[in-house]
């Protein structure tokens, strides 16, 4: 399980992992994910850190509260999933660079 790992270099590996994690956080902060629902009637934009930046709602939905709620929830969930998937992908890439600790293909 630990074959081929030089434990004397663990501190250096940990330091490199911290640098990569910081870089990932900085990159995430600069990304924006947008999800639409209802054929574009509702649009939600979220930063890579999971903060909502913008919500756009078509005027035709303003008198249909129930439809608006459903479409808004759908767009929010889709945008949040995009952020989570991006974070998982970045973490997987980072781990794969450290002695095979990442997921196996």
pLDDT tens figures, 40-51? 999 999 998 889
**pLDDT by residue (tens digit) across 74-102?**
999 999 999 999 888 877 877 776 554 54
Check which CATH number belongs to the domain holding 80 and give it: 3.30.1310.10
Comparing CA positions, the residue from 23, 1, 17 lying closest to residue 97 is: 17
In a domain, 3, yes or no: no
Mean pLDDT score, 21-48: 89
- The range of the structural domain enclosing residue 56 comes to 32-100
Query: Could you tell me the CA-to-CA distances from 37 to 7, 15, 34, 78, 80 in Å, in that order?
Result: 50, 42, 10, 9, 13
- Token pair 């992908």 is found at 89
Number of domains the chain is built from:
1
């Amino acid at each position: 399980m630990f074959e081929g790992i030089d434990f004397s270099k663990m501190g250096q590996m940990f330091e490199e992992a911290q640098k990569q994690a910081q870089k990932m956080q900085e990159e995430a902060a600069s990304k924006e994910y947008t999800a639409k629902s209802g054929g574009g009637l509702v649009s939600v934009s979220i930063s890579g850190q999971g903060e909502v930046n913008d919500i756009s709602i078509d005027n035709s939905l303003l008198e249909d509260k129930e439809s608006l709620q459903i479409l808004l929830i759908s767009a929010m969930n889709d945008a949040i999933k995009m952020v989570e998937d991006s974070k998982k992908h970045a973490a997987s890439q980072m781990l794969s660079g450290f002695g095979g600790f990442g997921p196996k293909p």
